[in-house]
Structure 1
Amino acid sequence: MLEAPDISTSASQLVDADLGIAQLHGIRTNAEMIANLCPVGSGPPLIADMNTGYDGLFIIALAIQAHVQAGVASFHIEDQIVQKRCSHLQGKEVVDIGIFVQYIKACMIACAWLRSDIVIITRIDTYQSRGYKECLGRLRTAGDSGADMGILEGSSPRLASWPLCLKQTIVFSFAALALVYVAIKKSFELLKSKGVTGTPENIPPKLIFQAHLLDKEAEFDAATGGLFLPTRYNTNKRYAKE
């Protein structure tokens, strides 16, 4: 299971922290890119981060339509106020439970209109400001209101007959982002100080091309009678190694 979180979209596309700056178009576009890296149905299911639904019941319906068309398997919507912030930060405020129930109902109605089986996950960010007891109450209300799954940010309770997503072990929001940050920072610090990037010799362009399925695309081309030959890589040792 993969997640397309807004924290990564904010960082990679906007160079901003996760403070609700990334909006529907950017997050949907990023999710669509990830969802379509593999042929339809062949990759792991993708969870999209739909934040607070982007302010309004009609926008929630449009957001769900956009995510369904993007090819994601699921999305989670949280109970923070519109001026939300990353779950890892302090000072999160949440909406009234009655408003959050409206969010869930809007999701269900939109899914029914679209005849979509996309999985609705409700994310509860109440633990920090209102305590564990209210979190459990909100989770139960979300389940009773029709949500398919729940996430309790910062904890992992058990609720009978209703599945919960344990974010710490199932959803790896930082799995690639943190590693990429370390690698890029190290490379550019080396470039600034010594004028080189330090690219390992065992990672030539050929390997990068293969990781991006160049050989598979060449095989498809050959099957159609095309002239593209995947073995014709630059053999100059400065750029590539066979």
Structure 2
Amino acid sequence: MATNGTYTHLPLPAPTRFRQLLAEQDIVVAPGVYDGFSARIALEVGFDCLYMTGAGTCASKLGQPDLGFASLNDMREHAETLANLDPAIPLIADADTGYGGPNMVARTVQQYHRSGVAALHVEDQIQTKRCGHLGGKHVVPVDVFVSRISAAVAARKKIGSDMVVIARTDALQTDGFDDAVVRLKAAVDAGADVAFLEGVRDEDEAREVCRLLSPTPVLLNMVENGATPSWTPEEARALGFKLIIFPFAALAPAYEAIRSTYAGIKKTGRTGIDPKFTPKKLFTIVGLEEATSIDEAAGGSLYGKV
């Protein structure tokens, strides 16, 4: 891109950058973010990939449990906010069941692409889905699952996107390990880039699914205190996983901290907030310096006094 005789190198598109991370890193680590503030904190810490949790979106945006309340519009709008805080950092986003038949799955891919999402996962639960670590789940027949993945891959190709399609199965709890692997293999044959076995229960299952799906990268959903044992990224890598997400990494500590502070107000009338956390500190976390530099570059001066 030429500007006044000079050339600036634009960053890689987020999907391409994500594919690069998968190819170059031993394991890609993506903390769960549930709103703009938690995403900004993850960026401040220095993560090079983020994960938009569906449970977190339901909880933070709607104040509802992860039982299929969130629509495509809810999820896409949320994903667009998170993906564009720093477009150079890839965002993996939950896309639930794709929100309908093949045409709706294709529409989901198109809208996530336009919103800047680098990767999305589509699952095989029925439309009235629930969190993968709750009981009572039901999955669709394997041919319906494959049609969802096929529609996602076809839509990606049609729009010329490099978006990564992740196939998630929840069949481990409903139909057993062997059936779940059959589903993932069928999804990979349909064009899925990454396999996602929800609710892995032990090291044997973890190693075996990674072995059976190789060379396809396999994702580990590290939900603490859920169906899966607690593994570090290094432990997950040793088991064969290529990607690990931590959906509750922001939600759980946020609940504890916020509830404690609110309880303090109710009991003593004081928040107990650290004096170092000033309004300017908050705004610095969420982009004050960038906003100031844009204003100054355009000839403004008001932000320089904040």
Q: TM-score scaled to structure 1, two decimals?
A: 0.91
2:25 aligns with none
- Equivalents in 2 of 1:25, 1:183: separation in Å? 30
- Equivalents in 1 of 2:92, 2:266: separation in Å? 38
Change (3 A) 1:144 1:203: same
Paired residues for 1:85-96 under 5 Å: 85-96=130-141
1:178 aligns with 252
Paired residues for 1:191-202 under 5 Å: 191-202=265-276
Mean CA deviation greater in 153-162 or 112-121: 153-162
Return the letter of the residue paired with 1:29.
E
Paired residues for 1:37-76 under 5 Å: 37-38=85-86, 40-41=87-88, 43=89, 45-76=90-121
- Equivalents in 2 of 1:2, 1:218: separation in Å? 25
- Equivalents in 2 of 1:111, 1:182: separation in Å? 40
2:196 aligns with 151
In the TM superposition, residue 220 of structure 1 has moved relative to its aligned partner by: 2.4
In the TM superposition, residue 193 of structure 1 has moved relative to its aligned partner by: 1.3
Indicate if the aligned counterparts of 1:124 and 1:139 stay in contact, CA closer than 8 A.
yes
Indicate if the aligned counterparts of 1:188 and 1:197 stay in contact, CA closer than 8 A.
yes
Match of 2:179 among 112, 134, 138: 134
1:101 aligns with 146
Match of 1:165 among 176, 198, 219: 219
In the TM superposition, residue 165 of structure 1 has moved relative to its aligned partner by: 1.2
What do residues 178-198 of structure 1 show as CA deviations (whole Å, max 9, x unaligned)?
Answer: 111111111111111111222
What do residues 159-187 of structure 1 show as CA deviations (whole Å, max 9, x unaligned)?
Answer: 22211112224211111111111111111
What do residues 12-38 of structure 1 show as CA deviations (whole Å, max 9, x unaligned)?
Answer: 111110000111011111111100111
Q: Which ranges of structure 1 fall in alignment gaps of 5 or more residues? A: 234-242
4+ residue stretches of structure 1 with deviation over 3 A? none
1:171 counterpart SS class = strand
Indicate if the aligned counterparts of 1:2 and 1:172 stay in contact, CA closer than 8 A.
no
In the TM superposition, residue 67 of structure 1 has moved relative to its aligned partner by: 0.2
What do residues 27-85 of structure 1 show as CA deviations (whole Å, max 9, x unaligned)?
Answer: 111111100111x32x2x11111101112111111111110011010000001111110
2:19 aligns with none
- Equivalents in 1 of 2:298, 2:80: separation in Å? 28
Q: TM-score scaled to structure 2, two decimals?
A: 0.72
Q: Which ranges of structure 2 fall in alignment gaps of 5 or more residues? A: 1-48, 201-205, 223-232, 234-243
In the TM superposition, residue 229 of structure 1 has moved relative to its aligned partner by: 4.2
1:239 aligns with none
Please say if 1:18 is aligned against 2:66: yes
2:53 aligns with 5
Return the letter of the residue paired with 2:299.
G
- Equivalents in 1 of 2:102, 2:190: separation in Å? 16
In the TM superposition, residue 219 of structure 1 has moved relative to its aligned partner by: 2.2
Structure having greater relative contact order (Cα 8 Å, sep ≥ 6): 2
2:302 counterpart SS class = coil
2:241 aligns with none
Return the letter of the residue paired with 1:19.
L
In the TM superposition, residue 216 of structure 1 has moved relative to its aligned partner by: 2.5
Mean CA deviation greater in 153-162 or 52-61: 153-162
In the TM superposition, residue 88 of structure 1 has moved relative to its aligned partner by: 1.1
1:61 counterpart SS class = helix
